[in-house]
Amino acid sequence: MSDSPHIVDHTRASAQDIVIVGGGLAGGLIALALHRHAPGCRFLLIEAGRTLGGHHRWSWFETDLAPQAKELMAGFALNGWDEGYDITFPGLGRTLPTSYRSLASAEFHAKLIAELPADRVMLGTKADSLDADGVMLADGTRIAASRVIDCRPFRASPHLAGGWQVFLGQHFRCEQPHGLTRPVIMDASVDQLAPHGNGAAYRFVYVLPLSPTEVFVEDTYYADQPKMDAEVLKGRVAEYAHRHGWKGEVIDSEAGILPVISGGDFAAAQAEIAIPGVARAGARGGFSHPLTSYTLPFAADNALAIARLIAARPALTGSDLAAFCHRRAKRHWRATGYYRMLSRMLFEAAEPGRRVVVFEHFYALRGNLVERFYAGRSTLPDRLRILTGKPPVSIGRAIRALFSPGKPLDTKPLKMETPA
């Protein structure tokens, strides 16, 4: 037995009503929702790492969440800004009024470990295989379950099309107050060249003032290939901080490569990873914003939907739960088709060095259009407005992209040339 209360002796694991495999955002929120809204459910959350949530920061607009989802997130130690946020482009600077929220994975882990019963979480535990009746652990231990939910990470598929969002962020503790009062969601006034062989790309810097003397600075770019040179990005972050006079020490770093889906055969992609009778959630199940890669609003909604279903139908079979999650995933795919089309415009209609113009055009639009866009709830007038006016790409390239199936998603292993 480990000295950690959540590194569990596998031989003591008993049969469960639900086993959730993957303690990232989706899996963790499902466990929390079950604990709060289906108290009679015996669930077990299995995570291969030593902490829940990995090493990430999730952010969202306050208007992204329905009231019940806000209640689910209310117990977490969030960073929040109600003064709006800034965006900067070569020819545009604006402050938009929507409140913004952010959650670090360390706070995610701390809250879940504090609230979930110790025997409901297994850390440092790798699942070798999943099936409709349970989970086989890497050490050969079998955990029986009435239902299994697969919340492991996204897996690229040749049946999907799109590109990648590559990012590296660093948390600075400054010697003097940094002077920011609002997040800078996009500073795209920076050089638009991607590092080391990725060519031109849409690139921006993302800045969160976490306290008067702490600031999170992230370098992000949209690229055709899932490659990262972490040392180059660290240098860019350091240069940005230096340019703004933020001197101090780096107390944390994070990096990632996320899919930006522009099209494909969703049914075929899901069939590749389907396990009969096993439900899927999170990015693996297709629940993300195709263009921004935001996942938290969808993860919160799914967690609550699953918990409500289990509370209402405690005898629900694993196959029924799998079908329920798959129906939600198909509806999400249909509902986000417009954003996949915009992703194709970004990757195929816009010249790489002028992708920034597409976003500048978008952020010049007025009203609540931007916040509805991020929430995945763009109205028909919103959609028409985004596509009208002076086109940021040529008409011919736009028409070709409109009817294109999209560039096949690069399925080679994600490559970080230097660990972050």
Residue 92 within a domain? no
- Average pLDDT of the residues in 111-126: 96
Bridge partners, 121 (sequence order):
45
Residue 201 pLDDT grade (very low, low, confident, very high; cuts 50, 70, 90): confident
Residue 94 within a domain? no
Decide if pLDDT at 4 tops 80.
no
Whether residues 111 and 231 fall in one domain = no
Which one is predicted more confidently, 283 or 413?
283
CA of 198: how far to CAs of 2, 235, 255, 340, in Å?
44, 17, 17, 22
Decide if pLDDT at 182 tops 80.
yes
Whether residues 234 and 371 fall in one domain = yes
Residue 5 within a domain? no
Q: Where does a domain end: 313, 335, 357?
A: 335
Q: Where does a domain end: 335, 370, 397?
A: 335
- Domains in the chain, number: 2
Q: Where does a domain end: 335, 363, 387?
A: 335
Whether residues 249 and 272 fall in one domain = no
Q: Which domain holds residue 212?
A: 160-261+343-420
Residues 6+ apart with CB under 8 A from 388: none
Whether residues 373 and 286 fall in one domain = no
- Average pLDDT of the residues in 80-91: 94
Bridge partners, 250 (sequence order):
172
Whether residues 378 and 234 fall in one domain = yes
Minimal CA–CA distance to 46: which of 141, 171, 180?
Answer: 141
DSSP state of 153: P
Decide if pLDDT at 140 tops 60.
yes
Whether residues 216 and 349 fall in one domain = yes
Whether residues 149 and 122 fall in one domain = yes
Residue 317 within a domain? yes
Lowest mean pLDDT across 214-218, 241-245, 380-384: 380-384
pLDDT per position as a tens digit, 35-80: 999 999 999 999 999 999 999 999 999 999 999 999 999 899 999 9
Read off the CATH number of the domain in which 185 is found. 3.30.9
Instruction: Please give the pLDDT value at position 2.
Output: 39
Please tell me the number of Cα atoms within 13 Å of 302 on its side-chain side. Answer: 33
Read off the CATH number of the domain in which 112 is found. 3.50.50.60
Region of 383 please: left (phi>0), alpha (psi -120 to 50) or beta. alpha
Instruction: Please give the pLDDT value at position 368.
Output: 87
Whether residues 375 and 252 fall in one domain = yes
Q: What one-letter code names the amino acid at 276?
A: P
- Average pLDDT of the residues in 261-278: 95
- Average pLDDT of the residues in 174-200: 84
Instruction: Please give the pLDDT value at position 413.
Output: 54
What are the tokens at 370?
């931007």
As a whole number of Å, the end-to-end CA separation of the chain is 31
With beta carbons less than 8 A apart as the criterion, state whether 348 and 177 touch: no
Decide if pLDDT at 9 tops 70.
no
Average pLDDT, the chain: 89
Instruction: Please give the pLDDT value at position 194.
Output: 61
Instruction: Please give the pLDDT value at position 8.
Output: 46
